[in-house]
Each structure stands twice: as C-alpha cells, then as structure tokens.
Structure 1
C-alpha cells in the first residue's frame, strides 16, 4: 500500500468562491464589479473586486472619502484595508504634513467628472465565522465619523464557502523492520519453603504445581523450532516481616535454589543462566495496601514512602500503627504473596514470509514483527476480514507502538468502523506525524466538523513538507 499523506482535499481548500453581479453602492456613486472571495490551501481568504468611482461622485477639494470593505456576520465584523480618496487640496496638505494613512490599500486623488477604477485585492486569515459572512462597504464621504454598524451598510456579496463532498485519502505507515526479533516471557512462582530454609522440596505443599508451571513455560519455548532461547533469569523476593539481613539471605538463597533446579533439570549452557534478589518486596507491599480497603491505608502508605534506611524499623512502625488484628491480616493475606521468585525467559525468533505469517497470526502472533503483520495485510484485499484482522492483531501485540496505533486507526476509518476506537488509537500515535494529523482530519470530516478537518489537513501538509528531504 502506498504511503498517503495529507493529500486530501485541495479541492476543499481552493476555488471556494462567492460571486455577485455588479452593483452600485452609496447613493449610486460607487460601483462594484467582479467581486470574488476564495479560500486557499494556506487558509487565507482572498477578497478581490473592482471598485469604480462613478462620474457623479463628488468630493470637495478640502475633503477625503474613506471606502472600507467589511466582512460581517451577526455582529462580528472585520474591517479590511480601506481605499482613501482625496480631494485635490486635502491631498496636498496631507502630503506636506506627512499625514498619509499607513493602513490604506490604495490612495486615490479624485478627478472630477471622471470614472476611476481601483483593482482591490487583499488576503486575511480565514476564521470559521466568515463561512457565510456578508461583504459590505462603508463609504465615509465626509471623513467626519467612525465606522457605522456593518449591518446597516450596502451589501456587496454574501460568502458561501462550503467544503465539497470529497473522499479523503487515509494514511498508513509501513513499520520499520526489526533487525532481530527479541522477545521475553515472564512468570512468577510461589514456592513454599520451610521456615528459614532455602532448599526446594518438590513435594512440599504446592511446590509440585509451581515447578510444573515453570517447566511448561520453558518447554513451550525450548521445543519451538522457530525460537532460540537467549537467557533465563531468576529474581527472588522475601516479605518485609522479620529481620532484613535474614530476608536478604532467604531471597538470595531461594533464587539460587530455583536457578539450580532449572540448571539441573535442563542442562542449559551456563551463560544463559543468571539470578538476582530483592531482600523485601516493598513495592508489592505498597501495591497491596494501595488497592486495599483498609481504613488506615493512607497512613500506611505514608510510612511505606518514608525515606528510611532501616527497613526493620519501618516494618515495626507499621506493625505498631495498624494494631494486632490488622497486622495478623497482613501476615495471612499479604505477606505470603510477597515471597516469590520471578522468572524471565528471553529468546529470539526467526523471520517469516507472508505465507508463514498467515498461519502464525492465528496461532503464535507474538512471534511476528510489526512489519511482518503489515506485509501480511498488504497481501490481503483492502477492507477484507483478513486485512482488518491483521491490523487489529498488530495493535494488540504492540499496544504502545505509535505506528501500530496509527494503522489500526486507519483501518477503523477505512471500514467505516468505530470512530471512538479510531480516536483512541490516534491518541497513541505520533502527534507530530503528518499521517496522524491527516487521519484526525478525516475523523473530523466524517463527524461533520468541516472547519476542524480543514485545519488538520493544512497542518498535515505543513508537517509533511517539514519532513521532506532537503535538496
């Protein structure tokens, strides 16, 4: 699938005109012809017209006239640069005093009994309220007043800037290839040990089931011909009750015991095996308390968060604070779960072609790279069930990847699916990418928010231009 960016709706942004027949304003002394209003791709409103001073327009030699085009709608208005028409003597005086208006579009010296033409052309930033605004003319022929209410003035034209119904191009991003597909699988074992012991007794309490769980995890990877194990790491933890030094010994010794079990059961190369330990699992303790309904949980959390080096003192402080009943509850319901051995099995997966990926996406999608899933989608009919499923699996396997989320959003948009889901995915895509901004514009377009959509498309085009390689 080719990479499609903001290239969406130049038709939506250009050629949006409002035309009117020539008309005469201000007591039939000024004629307006060829008026045109258009909006371009840079979101600028271009106003052009011929302003003709008719033969019967009279300005005495000492006076000036200010002709100010105004955009107005329901009390909101924007005055455009005026045309200033001087009488002969007024022009000479102003020039001599260096009193020439700086904001005027044009300064004209009036020629009596002659028709004079000003080709008026200005650009202003487009604002949403201008979509159906009126273009009117304030003609102050005496220079003696401020602008009057725009709604009372002669109307030149009514704007009608409507976006046409144009199909937008949805943006996908081809993912980058993984040089090597490294993966991990994690588990947690709750082995039971006799008090103060570090020897594993397989038949003791629930150890048989826990050891079987570890072996099943290892065997699933070890027997898969697509996979090579690159490491097995054990991390042991003890619970906070008791002395810290003894807990450090227990956590380390029990982790070593489990590593030795794996070492002797499988005879793995020694370089694949490693271990670590944490004397007391205070992070797990904090999580348990935070999720509990204990009435004193906020105070307990404050004690846990104290920057105290003597962990035994901290644990005793908690025991005294909560009282005997709650402490017994912690000993029975919390602390046993904090005595655990976590294991991480690292492995790498070989590369797959499209035909292999078509099978694996249904059985072992975790073995596929984001690029392999994308390549599978490209081999499918766009919009087909298999095509949509590929992008759904991609974002499921790589939930935090910006590209996976961008493409999942594009798929939802393309199939006319759940725009809420599309927006959720786009929130996790790269916010500065032209493709993300483009697709946000399409969502806004589908929801009928035309002005918002156009703003996104303009931003997308600018973002793409910034990313183009410099020549």
Structure 2
C-alpha cells in the first residue's frame, strides 16, 4: 500500500498538468490567413502566432488544420504542426536518435520557448474537391502529456474558405418592336388552270378549272370584303412548261397570263384597273429542275438529271434530248406529273391593314394575328402583365407570326428565363447575332449548368456590342476557376 501511494505521488510530480483541463488554442493566433485555389490544388497558408501560449514543459500540442465541408460531412486534414514543451522536445529528440520514433512526413515540429515571440509560417497543399467550396477551416489541437497520454482535444474555428455564391447577371429589359408606319401585307398564290392543247382561253367548265377559279375568287373576296384591309396592287405572272420551243412558250405564257387576268378582272370590277399588273416568264426551267430533284421514285430521274447537267444554255436542245431518251411511259409521267405544276399563273394581292385599338388587337390576336404589327402584338402581351401565362401565350403567337423579329424573339426568351425554362431559351437564341440576346443566351447556359458555353456566349455578346456582358463573362470565369467545371 505504501509503494502504491509513493508511485502515484511520483506520477503527479512528473506530470503536474496530467489531469488538468488544457486551453492552449485560445492563446493561439492566426494571422495572414489565406485559402486559395490554383488549378486543381488548394493552398492553405497562415502565420501561427504562439507568443501568448505557455506550454507545459512535459506536454505537446499537435495542431491539425482541417478543411471541412459546409454541411460538416466531408473533411480533409492537412500537414500538422507539433509544438512541444522543453522536456517533451528532448524526449522526442532522444527517441528519434535511437530509432524508436519516426518523423511524420511533412510535419512541422518545434520547441516552444515560453515567454518569447514565436511564429510558425505555415503552408500546406491538397487536391481540390468541389465540397470544399463555401466550407470552413478548423484548427484542431490534440494535447499529449508526459506519458504520451491524451490530455484533451480542442477545436478553433478559423473562418470560411473558398466562398462562392451564384452570380447575378445584367439582362436588358424587354425590347419594343419597331412600329410599322404602314402595315403592308400580301397574299401569294398560284392558279393551275387546264387548257386545251395550244390554247390560252380560260374555260371555266373544262376539267378542274371551276374549282380552281372559285378558289381564286375566294382569295379576292376575303380581302375585298374585309373592312380592315385596302387592296393596293395585284400582280399576275404567267409560266409555261418546257414542251415546245422557248419562243413559243414565251408567247403562250403571255397570252395565258393576260386571259387569266381578264377573267379575274371581269369578276372583280370593283377593283380599279390601275391596280392590275400582268407579266410572264415563259418556261419555268428552274421549276422543272426542282421537280425532277423531288421525283425520287421515278426510274428515269438519274438519266434526266444527267441530261440537265449537260444542257448548258440551250434549253430547247436539252428538252429535246430528254424527250428522245425517255420511254413512252416515262415521257407521259414527265408531261403529267412534272410539267403540269409548271403551267400556272402566280398571283400576288398586296394590301394595307388599318391600325387596331388595344381591345381590337386582343381579339384579332386570336383570329388573324397576321393583320397585327409586331408592336401591336407586344402591346397586347404587355396588357396582361409580365410573368403571366397570357403574356407568354401572346408573345409565342407573335413570334410564330414574325419569326425573324429580333425584339419578339428576345422577349419570348426573356419570359422563358423568368419561368426557368432555360432549354427553351437556348433553342430560341442558339443562332442569334444580337448582343442583348447573346447575353441572355449566356444566362440560360449558366442556369442550365453549362458554364463554359455561358462564358462563350457572354464573350460573343461583348463582341456584338453589348458591353454589360463583360462583367458577366468575368463572373463566369471566376466561377470556372473556383469550381473547376
């Protein structure tokens, strides 16, 4: 019993702080702390100031800087720093000399000189992982006593690391489509009448002509009877197919165009004569070439295409050569299927449309959007209020009507951004050359997760003259550098 008491007394004398609570980290300071990312590496540096730390001579403090994820589920320990008291340092030196202990690779080890200024210039590197972004740095202290026994652990919060927040981007407001001083419109159609051989007389009851002429008259009536429209010009152009000589077909197309115009004028006497304009083109050779190109199931197609390729400028000779090469059945197919659509009179009715009140424009958007200007459609959409289904529906109709209108396309895309429909935005703007639209495309790419495409779009927006995209490009570049994506 006496020996046991003496042994306990010796341990207490040798390790006076063995059972005492330690608070070393509260006397430790970090200065010039920095956590940076370069490429795929993260560097942590700091000056660890020990000036106010009074370390018991038998103790050691193992400082382990640790990178911790924002949610605390991931961590990465860095190179440790071992700070030893005077006696503990000597013990470690002796063990190292005797080979009883090996120096931990990369570890910084020093002896604390109590009462003196002492700073550790710490720096460590590790591989970057995305979970480190918006994480934190901790310094964990593990105190060991004279018999290598643990005497407590401490943790010091050392601040956040690799801060990142989703950037906000400047976007141009909705554009206003240009006003149309005069709303000019036109109907372009074709009348394919059938004629007796070598004839140019319009015969309403011949074959399918009655249905064709009725269709023509309906086209005129729809425009004349609409009080919102004013017919301003009618253009009729006659065409012939390549049978016969070019000179003959020139005259034939002229006569057929004129007789067709006379017939239509007779049934539309309320339209002034000075509105009518008649012209003719002779053989529609280009139309014939296109017809052959589309006749994929025709056995003679390749033979005819070869003849066309070799005909040079002598169309009459070329047509004769084609005729000579074809069988009776193939030539009949040529006459009935390929030549027939070329015998026609194209007609174009030009007219103007009056302007509509906002309420009229709302109604017209549902039934005849083509009679509204792009600016009128935009006003209808605006009347519903942005970020409403009616607003988006009106703009979609407007863009279908005017697919090449830059302002409408931008506004539809902007509404899609507001609704989080980034795939739609990318599809709408993928071919745009407009600066503000390219900037919006960059926003959509970024929001959909493609930061590299976003940066490219922002750079193109700057080149196209949209200066605010420069800042957006810089934000994306910073994100790429930090996130490595």
Fold match (TM-score > 0.5): yes
Mapped pair 1:175 → 2:177: yes
Q: How far, CA to CA, are the matches of 2:263 and 2:240 in structure 1?
A: 19
Match of 1:193 in 2: 195
Indicate which of 281, 284, 296 corresponds to 2:284.
Answer: 281
Q: How far, CA to CA, are the matches of 2:232 and 2:203 in structure 1?
A: 28
Match of 2:20 in 1: none
Match of 1:350 in 2: 354
SS in 1 for 2:283: coil
Indicate which of 179, 183, 186 corresponds to 1:184.
Answer: 186
> What's the offset of the Cα at 1:460?
4.4
> What's the offset of the Cα at 1:178?
1.3
Mapped pair 1:362 → 2:366: yes
Say which is worse superposed, 456-465 or 376-385, in terms of deviation. 456-465
Distance 1:322 1:360, change over 3 A: same
Distance 1:245 1:451, change over 3 A: closer
Distance 1:198 1:380, change over 3 A: same
> What's the offset of the Cα at 1:309?
2.9
> What's the offset of the Cα at 1:173?
1.8
Match of 1:240 in 2: 242
Indicate which of 210, 217, 220 corresponds to 2:219.
Answer: 217
Alpha-carbon contact 2:426-2:445 (below 8 Å) kept: no
Match of 2:388 in 1: 384
> What's the offset of the Cα at 1:445?
2.6
Match of 2:338 in 1: 334
Say which is worse superposed, 455-464 or 394-403, in terms of deviation. 455-464
Alpha-carbon contact 2:369-2:401 (below 8 Å) kept: yes
Match of 1:439 in 2: 440
Q: State the Cα deviation string for residues 40-88 of structure 1 (Å, max 9, x = none).
A: xxxxxxx999998x9xxxxxxxxxxxxxxxxxxxxxxxxxxxxxxxxxx
Alpha-carbon contact 2:191-2:345 (below 8 Å) kept: yes
Distance 1:160 1:218, change over 3 A: same
> What's the offset of the Cα at 1:170?
7.3
Q: How far, CA to CA, are the matches of 2:232 and 2:440 in structure 1?
A: 40
Distance 1:32 1:223, change over 3 A: same
Q: How far, CA to CA, are the matches of 1:208 and 1:455 in structure 2?
A: 59
Q: State the Cα deviation string for residues 280-324 of structure 1 (Å, max 9, x = none).
A: 122221222111223453453343355633221111122233443
SS in 2 for 1:387: helix
Q: State the Cα deviation string for residues 185-214 of structure 1 (Å, max 9, x = none).
A: 111111111111111121222111111111
SS in 2 for 1:303: helix
Distance 1:163 1:448, change over 3 A: farther
Alpha-carbon contact 2:35-2:45 (below 8 Å) kept: no
Q: How far, CA to CA, are the matches of 2:250 and 2:430 in structure 1?
A: 44
Tell which has more relative contact order, 1 or 2 (C-alpha 8 A, sep 6+): 1
Distance 1:295 1:34, change over 3 A: farther
> What's the offset of the Cα at 1:407?
2.3
Match of 1:464 in 2: 466
Alpha-carbon contact 2:174-2:414 (below 8 Å) kept: yes
Gaps of 5+ in 2: 1-27, 50-117, 119-129, 134-158, 470-485
Q: What is the TM-score of this pair, normalised by structure 1?
A: 0.63
Alpha-carbon contact 1:198-1:254 (below 8 Å) kept: yes
Mapped pair 1:310 → 2:314: yes
> What's the offset of the Cα at 1:34?
4.4
Q: How far, CA to CA, are the matches of 2:162 and 2:327 in structure 1?
A: 75
SS in 1 for 2:384: coil
Mapped pair 1:292 → 2:291: no
Larger radius of gyration: 2
Distance 1:451 1:287, change over 3 A: closer
Q: State the Cα deviation string for residues 390-426 of structure 1 (Å, max 9, x = none).
A: 1111111112233332222223333334x44432221
Alpha-carbon contact 2:358-2:379 (below 8 Å) kept: yes
Q: State the Cα deviation string for residues 74-125 of structure 1 (Å, max 9, x = none).
A: xxxxxxxxxxxxxxxxxxxxxxxxxxxxxxxxxxxxxxxxx9xxxxxxxxxx
SS in 2 for 1:188: strand
Gaps of 5+ in 1: 1-22, 25-30, 40-46, 55-114, 116-128, 133-156
Say which is worse superposed, 160-169 or 185-194, in terms of deviation. 160-169
Q: How far, CA to CA, are the matches of 2:300 and 2:164 in structure 1?
A: 62
Mapped pair 1:35 → 2:39: no
Mapped pair 1:226 → 2:228: yes
> What's the offset of the Cα at 1:455?
5.4
Say which is worse superposed, 347-356 or 300-309, in terms of deviation. 300-309
Indicate which of 390, 393, 397 corresponds to 2:397.
Answer: 393
Q: How far, CA to CA, are the matches of 1:401 and 1:304 in structure 2?
A: 39
> What's the offset of the Cα at 1:252?
0.8
Alpha-carbon contact 2:169-2:443 (below 8 Å) kept: no
Q: How far, CA to CA, are the matches of 1:197 and 1:218 in structure 2?
A: 26
> What's the offset of the Cα at 1:458?
6.2
> What's the offset of the Cα at 1:465?
2.9
Match of 1:371 in 2: 375
Alpha-carbon contact 1:168-1:442 (below 8 Å) kept: no
- Aligned-CA RMSD value: 4.3
> What's the offset of the Cα at 1:442?
2.4
Q: What is the TM-score of this pair, normalised by structure 2?
A: 0.61
